[in-house]
Amino acid sequence: MKAIVQNDYGSADVLQLAEVAQPAMKDNQVLVRVKAVSINAGDVFAMRGNPWPIRLTAGFPKPKNYILGWDMAGVVEAAGSSVMQFRPGDEVYAACSGALAEYVSVAEDKLALKPANLTFEQAAAIPTAAITALKGLRDVGKLQAGQKVLINGASGGVGTFAVQIAKALGAEVTGVCSTRNVDMVRSLGADDVVDYTRKDFTQNGRRYDLILDNVASHSFSDLMRVLTPQGLVVPNSGHAGMGYVFKAFLFSPFQRQLASMYLAVPNGKDLTELNEWLEAGQVKPIIERTYPLRETPEAFRYLDKEHARGKVVITVVG
């Protein structure tokens, strides 16, 4: 099968389209023919091998035919003997390793049925970004209906989902983004949109019950200054920068209004919970660019250098 592999760490130049063996399938796994994959900041970290603990997974000191990719959507090709929920022909999506390939083997509990109203490209855009937003808002931030939440970095992969999920949870939402994305963020349901090129949301006199910070544009003290007395800052562990996240890990035990790192590893249960909002149209993926598999290096270059609006998706032809 065709797959995107890397045998070194570095820029997108290390990514190659290659022929590799089809993955083996265990009894509790499903073999999926991949239709689309979305890429995340974590994929860029793995490509670079930075921060260095990633190399313990991708390969130390160098990767060897390591297949990148995490979020995917596709069609079940075969199911292991102990699999009960899925059968060949089912359209599914999941977060799993080695997704940038024509086939991938996925544990049954990682999969969810793809909402019928979404394309494979749209479904592939969902897992990591949407679950990161959901867990940050609902599980860490304990967001309640009627509360005021600010999404700093509202136009990116996590931010676009966070605006919509916060509205679905009944919050009053303020999104922060650049000029070119103001109308898009407002169209997602934001009650107020702050253009950071013109205004500083920490200087507008407003107070928020929760801030989900995706971009690390302000210090923790600046963010906490615009919270209500019981408010909380939640740093997005995957997108705000590793130095920023490490500071949150160090300082959060001593700062009541600062949350620490949180894990957002999608599974079938989480994705199935999202399906209700997705099928109702309350939450929808925003895709800025789509690339064919052979142009994966170009997709990584774009994600690495630009402020992507929503998600970058790769279609897998096989």
Is the full-model pTM beyond 0.75? yes
Domain membership of residue 264 (yes or no) is no
pLDDT tens per residue, range 90-126? 999 999 999 999 999 999 999 999 999 999 999 999 9
11 pLDDT above the threshold of 90: yes
Instruction: Give start and end residues of each alpha helix (H) in the chain.
Output: 41-48, 55-58, 120-124, 127-134, 157-168, 182-187, 220-225, 242-251, 268-280, 296-305
Residue pair 313/37 in contact by the 8 Å Cβ criterion? yes
pLDDT tens per residue, range 34-77? 999 999 988 998 999 887 878 888 888 899 889 999 999 999 99
Closest alpha carbon to 21 in 59, 65, 81: 65
Residues 134 and 122 in one domain: no
Residues 142 and 106 in one domain: no
Domain membership of residue 261 (yes or no) is no
Tell me the CA distances in angstroms from 225 to 96, 176, 186, one per residue in order.
Answer: 39, 17, 25
Domain membership of residue 266 (yes or no) is no
**In this structure, what CATH number is given to the domain that contains residue 111?**
3.90.180.10
List, in sequence order, every residue forming a beta bridge with 66; answer none if it has no partner: 6
Find which of 142-156, 234-248, 295-309 is predicted with most confidence, using mean pLDDT: 142-156
Domain membership of residue 275 (yes or no) is no
Residue pair 33/89 in contact by the 8 Å Cβ criterion? no
Domain membership of residue 185 (yes or no) is yes
Domain membership of residue 267 (yes or no) is no
Residue pair 245/234 in contact by the 8 Å Cβ criterion? no
184 pLDDT above the threshold of 90: yes
CA distance 221 to 35: 44
Residues 74 and 38 in one domain: yes
Residues 167 and 246 in one domain: yes
pLDDT tens per residue, range 263-275? 888 999 999 999 9
What's the chain's length in residues?
Answer: 318
**Which residue reads 């990719």 in tokens?**
69
Q: CA torsion 105→33→298→118, rounded to 10°?
A: -110
Residues 66 and 105 in one domain: yes
The domain boundary, picked from 209, 235, 254, lies at 254
The domain boundary, picked from 254, 275, 307, lies at 254
CA distance 70 to 210: 29
Domain membership of residue 260 (yes or no) is no
| DSSP label at residue 310 | B
Specify burial of residue 310 (Cβ count, 10 A radius: 0-12, 13-18, 19+).
buried
Enclosing domain of residue 154: 129-254
Q: How confident is the model at residue 252 (pLDDT cuts 50, 70, 90)?
A: low
Domain membership of residue 269 (yes or no) is no
Residues 64 and 110 in one domain: yes
Domain tally, the chain: 2
The domain boundary, picked from 254, 276, 304, lies at 254
Residues 117 and 9 in one domain: yes
Closest alpha carbon to 94 in 163, 34, 26: 34
Residues 212 and 223 in one domain: yes
CA distance 252 to 126: 29
Closest alpha carbon to 282 in 36, 117, 127: 117
Residue pair 60/101 in contact by the 8 Å Cβ criterion? no
Residues 120 and 231 in one domain: no
Residues 189 and 231 in one domain: yes
**In this structure, what CATH number is given to the domain that contains residue 185?**
3.40.50.720
Residues 221 and 292 in one domain: no
CA distance 208 to 150: 7
Tell me the CA distances in angstroms from 302 to 82, 222, 293, one per residue in order.
Answer: 41, 31, 14
Residue pair 102/316 in contact by the 8 Å Cβ criterion? yes
Residues 60 and 87 in one domain: yes
Q: Return the pLDDT at 311.
A: 95
